[in-house]
Amino acid sequence: MSYQFDFSFLGERWPAFAEGAWLTIQITLVAIVLGFALGTACALTRVYAHPLVRRLVGGYVEVIRNTPLLVQIFIVYFGIASLGFKLSADVSALIALVVNLGAYTTEIMRAGIESIPKTQVEAADCLGLSRLQVIANIVLLPAIERVYPALTSQFVLMMLASSITSQISVEELTAIANVVQSETYRSFEVYVVVALVYLALSLIFRVGFWAVGTVLFFRRRRLGAAL
């Protein structure tokens, strides 16, 4: 069976793809910022807080990491609607993504925080710094630096996972692809194009993270070596 590839739809439909990609980027960025904040806070709790609180946070992490994102999105979207609250699809999706990324970030940051030698913390303590000061000045930034590759990988994965939000009609890139292919019947071409766009986005994000890394960890840039 011969199949004629036809990419002509791009000519007039490309703005739709651009808008979808833009929404994907926006959702991802917000999810990253909020998810990272949540994850770091939880990681600090996991390391420093009262044992009961630690267990609770641990429970949250395990539940999220052992259930599919799709189900989590459904629970947030349909669940909250069933309680009577009117939340837009975008906001529901964002909540689910933030909660999801928070759990993964917690584990990554926890590893980073625990990898800071106790002697560092002890020395800072001996200088009179309070617990909070020690965390802010001695622990956090080096911890982030140590786990930066794992962290940014997770962020890129989150960007790709945002495609799932198309299922609750968030009009991001995948949703746009579904619409266009249903109208043009060029399913193969449409999805190939969208795959390429995602690949490009992955690359852009990775480069972006690398750039942020050189700014944040300027010591590394100066010395040309890792911590």
Partner 1 sequence: MSPDSAAPPLVRVAGLVKWFGAVKVLDGVSFSLERGQMIAVLGRSGAGKSTLLRCINGLEPIQAGEIEICGHRVAPLDLIGLPRRQNRRVLRQDVGMVFQSYNLFPHLTVERNITLALTLVQKKPRREAREIAIQVLTQVGLVDRLDAYPEQLSGGQQQRVAIARSLALSPQVMLLDEVTSALDPELTAEVLKVMEDLAERGMTMIIVTHEMGFARRLADVVLFMHRGKVWESGPTEEIFADPRTSELRQFIASVL
Partner 2 sequence: MVQFNSVHVLYLFEAAKWTIALSLIAFTGGAVLGVPLALARVSGFKMLRLAAAGYIQVIQGTPLLIVLFLSYFGLSIAGYRLDPLVAAGLSLTLYSGAFLGEIWRGCIEAVPRTQGEAADCLGLSRLQQYIYVILPQAMRIATPLTVGFMVQVVKSTSLASIIGFVELSRAGQIINNSTFQPFLVFALVGAIYFVICYPLSVASRRLERRFHVAR
At its nearest, how many Å lie between partner 1 and the CB of residue 143? 10
Q: Select the residue interacting with partner 1 from 2, 66, 82, 119 (CB under 8 A).
A: 119
Both tokens of 18, joined, read: 């651009």
At its nearest, how many Å lie between partner 1 and the CB of residue 141? 6
Short-list 97, 92, 127, 111, CA closest to 42: 111
Contact residues for 180 (Cβ-Cβ < 8 A; gap 6+): 9, 13, 16, 17, 186, 190
Short-list 17, 75, 46, 71, CA closest to 200: 17
The residues that touch partner 2, with contacts defined as CB under 8 A, are: 1, 3, 62-63, 65-72, 74-75, 78-79, 81-82, 160-164, 166-167, 174, 177-178, 181, 185-188, 190-192, 194-195, 198-199, 202-203
At its nearest, how many Å lie between partner 1 and the CB of residue 227? 6
Short-list 11, 5, 24, 26, CA closest to 162: 24
Please give the Cα distance from 85 to 74 (Å, whole number). Answer: 15
Please give the Cα distance from 87 to 97 (Å, whole number). Answer: 15
Q: Which does 141 bind (CB under 5 to 8 A by kind): partner 2, partner 1, none?
A: partner 1
Please give the Cα distance from 141 to 143 (Å, whole number). Answer: 5
Instruction: Give the residue with the Cβ less far from partner 1, 191 or 217.
Output: 217
Give the Å distances, CA to CA, from 60 to 55, 57, 101. 9, 5, 12
Verify binding: residue 128, partner 1, rule CB under 8 A: yes
Instruction: Give the residue with the Cβ less far from partner 1, 14 or 218.
Output: 218
Segment 191-220, which members bind partner 1 (CB under 8 A)?
A: 219
Please give the Cα distance from 75 to 88 (Å, whole number). Answer: 14
Verify binding: residue 130, partner 1, rule CB under 8 A: yes
Segment 143-162, which members bind partner 1 (CB under 8 A)?
A: 145
Q: Which does 14 bind (CB under 5 to 8 A by kind): partner 2, partner 1, none?
A: none
Please tell me the count of residues contacting partner 1 according to CB under 8 A: 22
